[in-house]
Amino acid sequence: MCPQRTTTVDDDDETKATHTTTVVQEEEEEADDDFDDQKQQPSNASKKKKRKIALFFGYNGDGYQGMQRNPGAKTIEDDLEKAIVNAGGIATSNAGDFNKVHWNRAARTDKGVSAVGQVVSFKCMNADDGNTETMVRAINEHLPRNKIVAFGATRVTGGFSAKNQCDRRKYEYVVPVRTFDVRFPGKRKRRAERKNENEDCGEKKIDDEGAEDTTAHADATKDRDDGTEEEKRKENARDDDDEEEEEGEEEKNQEPYVFDEAERTKVNDILKHFVGTHNFHNYATKVDCDTPQARRFVISFSCSMPFKIQGEYFVKFEILGQSFLFNMIRKLVGMTIGVARGYCDMSDLLFALRTKQRVNTPMAPELGLFLCECQYDAYNKRFSTERVPLRLDNWRDKVEAFKQQTVYKHIYDREYVIKDNMGEWIHKFISDKDGFREQYDLAMHRALLKEEKLAPLSAKNSQKQRANNSQNQQGPKAPSATPGGGEANAKKDDGTSDPKKVEASTVAKEEEEQKSENKRDEEALLLRAAKSAAERVSKKRALELEKQEERKRREIARHEERVKNGMVVGKVEYNDDEMSE
C-alpha cells in the first residue's frame, strides 16, 4: 500500500506557496486543458487565443479602497479590468468573473496604499510572444491618467499564479526626516486646547442669546459677559500671534535637526528586532495569537539615509518578507517611530512581539506605504530556459519615473502642501500617551503574575526559513561528483585543513554567542520592565484607594452635618466604588 502524501496550504491570501512536483504537475495539466480548449474553438477565433501573462503595473492608491475587488467600493482591480476589457485583452462575456480568466494578484494593498511593483496574472487575448507590448500600450490608453500605469507584460506558463509563485514581497514606507525630531510638531497641543475653549465660549454665548431676558440687570450682565468673552478671544488671538512669533524666534535660534549616520544606526537597531520569524498578532489587525497565520518571516528591515523629494528631506523604511498581515507594516513603522522619539520603551516593542496577550500598537498613516516589488526567483530558476525571467528591472526606467513623478510627489503634497499628515498622527499619539502606558503596565503586570514566558520563537524556524531563502537565491545544490561518498569523503571535507572554513566556523560561533547574550539581555530587560510596571500599577491602585477613602470621609461628614441640622434622619450609607483592573 503506497503512503499518502499530504501538503499543508496557508489560507492567507499572501502566503508563500512551496514549489514542489505537485505544482509542476498542475502546470502541465492546465497547459493540456488550454490545448484542449483551443482545439474545441472554431477556426474564426484562432486570432483570439488566450495566453497567460504576468502584467507589471503601478498605481497611486489615493481615492481607492484598496487593490482587491470589493463590491460597492472603488478598487484598483475594477479600473484595471475595465481597461483590459476595453483594450481587447478580456472578452466582454468574461468581464466581472476573475475565475474565467484565472486572475491572480501578487499582493493585496490596503486603502490609500500605492504600488510601483504590483503583478497580476490572467489569460489574455491577443497576447502572443511578440504582441505583449502592443497590449500594454492599449491598456494604458484606457487607464486613469496619473493614477494607474502598466509597465510591461511577460508570457508565463499555463499554471503560473502571481500570488502562489511569488517568493518575496518588498515594501517601502517614506516619512519626512522631521518625524524623528522630538521638537516636531511644536506647540500644536496648546493651540488646540485654546481653540476648544473658544468653541465652548461661543456655545455659551449662543445659549445666552437664546434665553429670554426678564430684567434690565440680566441684560447688563449678559452684555458684560459677551464683552468678557470677546476680550478673551482677542487675548487668545494675541497669545497665538505671540506664540507664533516666539516659535519662529525659537526655530531661528535652534539648530536644525539632522538625520545623520548615528540616528540611522539608532533606528536600524530598533528594526533588527523584527527580523526573523515572530508571532506578529499584536502588529496586525484582527489576528489571534494562536493562529498559524500570525507567524511571519521578515527577511530584512532597514532605514535609509535622507534623500530629497521636491526640496524636502525624507527617509524610507525598506522591508522584505514572504508575506505580511493586514496593517502589519504600518504598525511596525509606528512602533519604531514611537521608540525612536522616546514615547515607547524597547521593552514595549519586545513585549508586544512575545506576549500572547492582546495589546495595541501604534499604527502609522497609510500615506507613505507602497508596494515596491514582487520577486519570483524560484519560478525564474525553474523555467530559465523556457520563459523570459519575471523581473521588474526589465522596465526600470518606467518604474523609477512613476515612483518619482507620481508616488513620491503625492507623498510630498500630502505632507507639505495639503496638510501635515505625519504631524497630525504624532500629535494624536502624544495625546493618548498616558493611556498607552497604562495599557502596557497592566498587561506586563498580568504577565508577571501569570509567570508568562516571554521568550522569542524557536530559532530553528528562522534558521530553516533563512536556509530555504538562501537555496532559492543560489539554486539547488549540485550532486556530489564522487560516487558513494561516505565517511571517507566526510573526513576529507570536515574543513579542519581549510583556513577559510575554520575562520567561517569561528565567526559563526561568535555570532551564536552574541545572539545568546542579546537574548539574555532582552529577557532581563523585559523582567525589569514588568517589575517596574507592577510597581506603577500598585502605586496607582493605592492612590485610587486613598482617593476613594477621602471621598467616603467627605460623604460621611456631609451627611452627619445634614443630620445635625435636622435636614435628614438616619445613618449614612456609603457604597464603595468598584476598583477597575
Has residue 199 got a pLDDT over 70? Answer: no
pLDDT attached to residue 507: 67
Q: What is the mean pLDDT of residues 549-557?
A: 85
**pLDDT above 70: percentage of residues in the chain:** 68
Which of the pair, 197 or 389, is modelled with greater confidence?
A: 389
Has residue 26 got a pLDDT over 60? Answer: no
Q: Is the dihedral of CA 493, 498, 501, 502 positive or negative?
A: positive
d(CA 80, CA 89): 11
pLDDT in tens, 507-522: 676 666 666 667 677 7
pLDDT attached to residue 190: 45
Encode 499-560 in three state secondary structure. HHHHHHHHHHHHHHHHHHHHHHHHHHHHHHHHHHHHHHHHHHHHHHHHHHHHHHHHHHHHHH
The most distant pair of C-alpha atoms in the chain lies apart, rounded to whole Å, by 114
90-128 residues labelled b (16+ CB within 10 A) or e (exposed): beeebeeebeebbbbbbbbbbebbbbbbbbbbbbbbbbe
Which of the pair, 213 or 532, is modelled with greater confidence?
A: 532
Q: What is the mean pLDDT of residues 234-262?
A: 66
Q: What is the mean pLDDT of residues 194-219?
A: 46
Q: What is the mean pLDDT of residues 50-64?
A: 92
Please report, to the nearest 10 degrees, the dihedral formed by the alpha carbons of residues 211, 213, 219, 224 taken in order: -20
∠ CA(276), CA(277), CA(280), 5° rounding?
A: 115
269, HSE (Cβ side, Cα atoms, 13 Å): 10
Q: How far is the CA of 71 from the CAs of 68, 111, 142, in angstroms?
A: 10, 14, 22
d(CA 547, CA 166): 59
Going through 61-160 in order, the beta strands assigned E by DSSP cover 104-105, 114-125, 148-155
Q: Given pLDDT bands bounded at 50, 70 and 90, which one contains residue 228?
A: low
pLDDT attached to residue 252: 56
pLDDT in tens, 313-336: 999 999 999 999 999 999 999 999
CB 228 within 8 A of CB 205: no
pLDDT attached to residue 250: 56
Q: What is the mean pLDDT of residues 131-159?
A: 91
User: Three-state SS for 202?
Assistant: helix
Q: Given pLDDT bands bounded at 50, 70 and 90, which one contains residue 405?
A: very high
Burial class (CB in 10 A: 0-12, 13-18, 19+), 179: buried
pLDDT attached to residue 554: 86
pLDDT attached to residue 376: 94
* Range from 31-40, 367-376, 460-469 carrying the lowest mean pLDDT: 31-40
Q: Which residue has the cell 530559465?
A: 384
pLDDT attached to residue 14: 43
pLDDT in tens, 282-310: 999 888 888 999 999 999 999 999 999 99
d(CA 143, CA 463): 44
CB 153 within 8 A of CB 397: no
User: Three-state SS for 373?
Assistant: strand
Amino acid at 546: E
Has residue 247 got a pLDDT over 70? Answer: no
User: Three-state SS for 310?
Assistant: coil
pLDDT attached to residue 505: 72
d(CA 231, CA 387): 77
pLDDT in tens, 519-540: 677 777 777 777 787 788 888 8
pLDDT attached to residue 275: 93
**pLDDT above 90: percentage of residues in the chain:** 37
Q: Given pLDDT bands bounded at 50, 70 and 90, which one contains residue 501?
A: confident
* Average per-residue pLDDT for the chain: 77
pLDDT attached to residue 238: 58
Nearest alpha-carbon partner for 440 in 547, 366, 354:
354
Enclosing H/E stretch for 466: helix 459-474
pLDDT attached to residue 411: 94
pLDDT attached to residue 479: 47
pLDDT in tens, 350-396: 999 988 889 999 999 999 999 999 999 999 999 888 888 999 999 99
pLDDT attached to residue 298: 94
Q: What is the mean pLDDT of residues 133-162?
A: 92
